[in-house]
């Protein structure tokens, strides 16, 4: 019996004008029917924000080739929620987010709109994958990202993903050495703000931030990316630290 053609939702946080979303939509079209539902403007670093105090609008747009979609006046998480509840023709077989122009490895995960779109897909029960290129340049060579994504998309369409788990792919620009399973590297930003004075002598602060890697595990995503590999990290939205929970329960409930 022929398999149903997969129906694939593509979103991102850079908006419709990025090369990354066009490349990912074209890749998705190799696998099935594609609809792109993404923010109508850049929404980087919005994390898992959702819009609650104003309504959303969704306008039909042509994306690339004959792929169409909706530009939504909200965040990446809004896009996936609104897609699921109102805009999709049927339940999607896969949610893809990206390709982000800029790394979503290590602590960047927390702030990432790209990853939040995929996480929202997982919360709603769909297999979901985020894809990012470590190069910020909008014209970076995305061929490696596409190869890594192609591999994981085909595995996930074949076998699905365990409940509650999202895949987070990062790859360098251009070719890479191989795709490695990885953990989110412990890391943080230091010396974050540059203070300035406005013409009226009042201070204001620009976020700049020097990235600091605190993790020397051989399977940390950032380590592997620096060595020229692409990485795929299984992430979860259940934030409970079960080890501490069990310890505290056994101390307090004995």
Q: Tell me the closest approach of the beta carbon of residue 2 to its own copies, in angstroms.
A: 29
Q: Which of 29, 33, 219, 228 binds its own copies (CB under 8 A)?
A: 219
- Beta carbons within 8 Å of 195's beta carbon, 6+ residues apart: 203, 204, 205
Q: Interacting stretch for its own copies, rule CB under 8 A, among 1-9, 32-40, 75-83, 132-140?
A: 75-83
Q: Tell me the closest approach of the beta carbon of residue 154 to its own copies, in angstroms.
A: 15
Binding of its own copies by 68 (CB under 8 A): no
Binding of its own copies by 90 (CB under 8 A): no
Query: Based on CB atoms, which residue is closest to its own copies, 3 or 53?
Result: 53
Binding of its own copies by 254 (CB under 8 A): no
Q: Which of 68, 186, 213, 228 binds its own copies (CB under 8 A)?
A: 186
Q: Interacting stretch for its own copies, rule CB under 8 A, among 32-40, 73-81, 134-142, 169-177?
A: 73-81
Q: Does the bond joining 31 to the residue before it have cis omega, within 30 degrees of 0?
A: no
Structure tokens at 116: 């939040």
8 bridge partner residues: 34, 94
Binding of its own copies by 202 (CB under 8 A): yes
Going residue by residue from 21 to 60, which x/- string records binding to its own copies, judged by CB under 8 A? -----------------------xxxxxxxxxx-xxxx--
Residue whose tokens read 């470590």: 134
Binding of its own copies by 67 (CB under 8 A): no
Binding of its own copies by 236 (CB under 8 A): yes
86: left (phi over 0), alpha (psi -120 to 50) or beta: alpha
Query: Based on CB atoms, which residue is closest to its own copies, 76 or 172?
Result: 76
CA angle 160, 237, 79 (to 5 degrees): 80
Q: Give the Cβ contact number of residue 31 at 10 Å.
A: 18
Q: Give the distance between the most distant pair of CA atoms in the chain.
A: 73
Structure tokens at 53: 């105090």
Structure tokens at 112: 């990432």
CB 138 within 8 A of CB 81: no
Using CB atoms within 10 A of its CB, is residue 88 exposed (0-12), middle (13-18) or buried (19+)?
middle
Question: Interface residues with its own copies (CB under 8 A)?
Answer: 44-53, 55-58, 77-78, 81-82, 84-86, 107, 109-111, 116, 119, 123-124, 162, 164-165, 181-184, 186, 188-189, 191-193, 195-196, 202-207, 219, 233-242, 244-245, 248-249, 252-253
């Amino acid at each position: 019996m022929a398999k149903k053609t997969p129906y694939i939702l593509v979103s991102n946080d850079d908006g419709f004008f990025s090369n990354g979303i066009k490349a990912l939509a074209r890749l998705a079209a190799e696998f099935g029917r594609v609809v792109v539902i993404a923010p109508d403007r850049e929404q980087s670093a919005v994390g898992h924000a959702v819009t609650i105090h104003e309504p959303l609008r969704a306008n039909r747009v042509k994306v690339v080739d004959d792929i169409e979609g909706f530009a939504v006046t909200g965040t990446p998480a809004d896009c996936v929620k609104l897609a699921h509840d109102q805009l999709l023709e049927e339940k999607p077989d896969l949610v893809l987010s990206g390709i982000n122009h800029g790394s979503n490895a290590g602590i960047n995960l927390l702030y990432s709109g790209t990853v939040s779109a995929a996480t929202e897909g997982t919360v709603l029960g769909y297999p979901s994958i985020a894809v990012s290129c470590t190069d910020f340049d909008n014209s970076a060579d995305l061929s490696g990202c596409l190869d890594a994504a192609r591999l994981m998309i085909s595995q996930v369409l074949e076998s699905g993903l365990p409940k509650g788990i999202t895949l987070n792919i990062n790859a360098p620009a251009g070719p890479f050495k191989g795709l490695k399973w990885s953990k989110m590297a412990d890391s943080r930003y230091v010396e974050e703000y540059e203070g300035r004075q406005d013409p009226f002598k009042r201070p204001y602060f620009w976020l700049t931030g020097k990235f600091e890697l605190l993790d020397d595990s051989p399977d940390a995503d950032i380590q592997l990316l620096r060595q020229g590999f692409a990485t795929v990290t299984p992430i979860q939205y259940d934030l409970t630290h079960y080890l501490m929970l069990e310890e505290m329960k056994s101390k307090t409930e004995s």
